[in-house]
Structure 1
Amino acid sequence: MTTLTVHDDGKYLAIQTQGKSTRFHAIWLRDNAWDSETRATGNGQRLLALRDIPADTSIASAGIDGEVVTLTFAPEDKSVDYPLSWLMDNAYDTESNTGAGWTGAAVQTWDSGLMADVPVGDYAKVSADDRALASWLDNVARYGFGKLENGPTTDLSLMQVVDLFGYVRETNYGRHFEVRTEVNPTNLAFTGLGLQAHTDNPYRDPVPSLQVLYCLESSAAGGENMVVDGFRAAERLRAENQEWFDVLSQHCARFEYAGEEGVVLRSRRPMIELSPDGEMIGIRFNNRSLAAVTDVPFDKMDTYYAAYRRLGEIIDDPDMEVTFRLEPGECFVVDNTRVLHARKAYSGTGTRWLQGCYADKDGLLSKLAGLQATTLEAAE
């Protein structure tokens, strides 16, 4: 049974259900009304600014009929219906997450144990079946990366992958970039050396939040791709030494790229980025692009470098890595704000040709939410 009580002269509502009381302020409820005078019917955007709602708004009466809560607000004398489920889904009178570095329920951190269950989708299936696409995108969002198999091997096939969920983000590298490697090359520019795990473009603000790497040719031995969950690495650092976690999250590093004429890119962000309430929202780690660190006080610089070194050791730990080989027609999408990627070294003879591009995570999350909403509507 659900009951409603109004408190503090109508300043807030308490909903008692399943043995728990959840409170909502009157001004919050009025601002979040979904009637046609407050919200546009087509897109749900607000038609009113907060200044249009009386500052002394209060709840004059409250009632419930089944799953519908009806409130009347003073001084407007306006009645609004709310689905009980919507109110409970959007409740803010909850226990807050404590401590810096927490992650949301939709994020699952991982280590090398994920090797047995790498999130994989079939290109043909995700291209033709919205449910398969939603499942694959959900895994990319949850784990920070996902692999696609059985795709075409034609030039710029990676653009078709991006079309599944969003749009290419063009940079000074163009709409896409080529990754061509020859083993035992005549030109050292085409090296088969391995690369340390890193996030791309930390010198941009904002960074490209997704990267797509698509394999068109792979005849060389070795060269496996590797991914490391930066969030799990930060969690390990915090468990080992809270002071080290704090110094990397509370002080900015500086990153810089000036490798082309007319291009000077700079950013100033922490290696471990937290939201104001302590949620872990980003990792920037790229030793090649780290500029001089100047935003750490003198008496904390030794601690900062000890923390930076240890975070790198954790990232390099084989127990943290998931590796897989990309064959022609295969690709992977990686959350560049969270998951570090690398490449193992090559041996023997052969060539390797990949194409890469950047996109943004908001497009992927929007596509996923739309697919999930459509699936839910169909189920109802």
Structure 2
Amino acid sequence: MNRAVITHIVQSSDALKITWQDGNQSTFNYIWLRDNAPKNNFSIGKGMAISFDIPLDVTPIRVTLNETLDIEWADDENIYQFDPAWLWANAYKPEEKNKPQSPLKLWRAVDIIHNLPIYSYPQLVSDEKKLRDMLQDVNDLGFAILQDVEQKKGMVLKVVELFGYVRESQYGRLYDLRMEPNPKHLSYTNLRVPAHVDGPYRHSMPTVQLIHSLVNSVDGGESTLVDGIFLAEELRRIDPTAFQLLATTPVTFRYGDDKSVLEYEGTIIETNRENCITGVRMNPIVIQPFYIEPQKMKDFYAAYQQFGRMTEDDANRIVTKLDAGNLLLFKNQRILHGREEFKPNKGERYLQGCYSDADDLGSKLAVLNRKFIS
């Protein structure tokens, strides 16, 4: 059955109700139809109707159902033709629009540890279908591991070109991860780094992160990955009160050095207006002292500690040695990453990283899906 077949129309004072062949109904307000009429699409030299110029009480003179839905408006002498398939695709149904186009595949480490999304970088360069599969995994699972990436400084910037562009930060186009004599950050030591996201002190956090291993011959130093959205959903299931505290109580994150001071106040669990989880801002390294109502402080700490323990649960953590030539590509607003402690006097650990944008990754995936998925 072709669902986008109109069988019946009913006009009211301010809207048009359409009945489809499958029995479902959609309501389209006249002002919305007038605003989105096909001839309103902008093309150079023709101009366009601007939404705020349309009368609120705009009404059609005539509505005719042929192969298209034809509308003649009182304020315009033209007849506008609406393709039923377009109307079906653009019917404004909030309960459907809020569903993700490609549902996330939330995970615990124990469920996917034997089936990690691992790809050969040279194959991604030469095979667009493999590239599509890899980007789909990053979209769905939040991460992928690329192998056989040339062990050359700056190579991480080249890998970004598979799908997008480098996003510069206070670190520049890329940053080095290795021990320093006088470290200003935990990442530049041999110590364990707890699960965290990068840049929660920015209003717009980095949304994609890449970490490339150039040398990794130390004992220890395994990389860790946790699905933050899975853990947030799990917290909501087992302790709704704790979830609500972390999703509604703003806290401050701050980064400062000789050249920059960055600060942002936001919630540890981020949700949209439908209460769907959109990301996490968990970073115990740069979080500032909590300024919360005294009567709320103990409960907030309990929720914060509970969520923190979940990020450290071995059942939730992927622990993997990022061998030289391997690269982690992940969604920074979803995947918390960390590092195990390593012995500083045996071997060397040198990684380079950079940031990019999920918008560009999603755009490249959409283009490849259009090419390969009919």
The answer, yes or no, to whether TM exceeds 0.5 is: yes
Q: Which residue of 1 aligns with 2:265?
A: 268
CA shift for structure 1 position 41? 4.8
Matched residue type, 1:194: R
Q: CA RMSD in A?
A: 2.6
Do the aligned partners of 1:103 and 1:279 also contact (CA within 8 Å) in 2? Answer: no
**Structure 1 369/21 Cα, relative in aligned 2: closer, same or farther at 3 Å?**
same
Matched residue type, 2:90: N
Q: C-alpha deviations, 1:78-120, integer Å up to 9, x for none?
A: 433334333333332353699xxx9764322111112122222
Moved over 6 A (4+): none
CA shift for structure 1 position 307? 0.8
**Structure 1 241/97 Cα, relative in aligned 2: closer, same or farther at 3 Å?**
farther
TM-score by length of 2: 0.88
**Structure 1 146/10 Cα, relative in aligned 2: closer, same or farther at 3 Å?**
same
Which deviates more from structure 2 when the two are superposed, residues 313-322 or residues 71-80? 71-80
Do the aligned partners of 1:197 and 1:342 also contact (CA within 8 Å) in 2? Answer: yes
Q: Which residue of 2 aligns with 1:130?
A: 128
**Local SS of the residue matching 1:287:** coil
Which deviates more from structure 2 when the two are superposed, residues 56-65 or residues 274-283? 56-65
Do the aligned partners of 1:103 and 1:280 also contact (CA within 8 Å) in 2? Answer: no
How many residue pairs get aligned? The number is 362
**Structure 1 323/18 Cα, relative in aligned 2: closer, same or farther at 3 Å?**
farther
Aligned identity (percent) is 30
**Local SS of the residue matching 1:116:** coil
> In 2, Cα distance between the equivalents of 1:34 and 1:370?
24
Mapped pair 1:55 → 2:44? no
**Structure 1 332/80 Cα, relative in aligned 2: closer, same or farther at 3 Å?**
farther
CA shift for structure 1 position 74? 3.6
> In 2, Cα distance between the equivalents of 1:13 and 1:77?
23
**Local SS of the residue matching 1:320:** coil
CA shift for structure 1 position 7? 3.1
> In 2, Cα distance between the equivalents of 1:47 and 1:121?
47
Q: C-alpha deviations, 1:191-228, integer Å up to 9, x for none?
A: 33221110012111111111110011121233221111
Q: C-alpha deviations, 1:341-370, integer Å up to 9, x for none?
A: 011222582111110111121111122222
Q: 1:238 aligns with which of 220, 236, 241?
A: 236
Which deviates more from structure 2 when the two are superposed, residues 18-27 or residues 209-218? 18-27
Which deviates more from structure 2 when the two are superposed, residues 322-331 or residues 203-212? 322-331
Do the aligned partners of 2:63 and 2:69 also contact (CA within 8 Å) in 1? Answer: no
Matched residue type, 1:365: G
Do the aligned partners of 1:4 and 1:64 also contact (CA within 8 Å) in 2? Answer: no
Q: Which residue of 1 aligns with 2:361?
A: 364
> In 1, Cα distance between the equivalents of 2:36 and 2:118?
39
Q: Which residue of 2 aligns with 1:222?
A: 220
Mapped pair 1:344 → 2:348? no
- Would you tell me which structure has more strand in proportion to its own residues? 1
Structure 2: stretches of 5+ with no match in the other structure: none
**Structure 1 131/29 Cα, relative in aligned 2: closer, same or farther at 3 Å?**
farther
1:247-258 matches, within 5 Å, as 247-258=245-256
Q: 1:286 aligns with which of 258, 283, 287?
A: 283
Structure 1: stretches of 5+ with no match in the other structure: none
Do the aligned partners of 1:13 and 1:26 also contact (CA within 8 Å) in 2? Answer: no
Q: Which residue of 2 aligns with 1:27?
A: 31
Do the aligned partners of 1:23 and 1:93 also contact (CA within 8 Å) in 2? Answer: no
Q: C-alpha deviations, 1:142-183, integer Å up to 9, x for none?
A: 11111111221111110111111111111221111111249x
**Structure 1 147/64 Cα, relative in aligned 2: closer, same or farther at 3 Å?**
farther
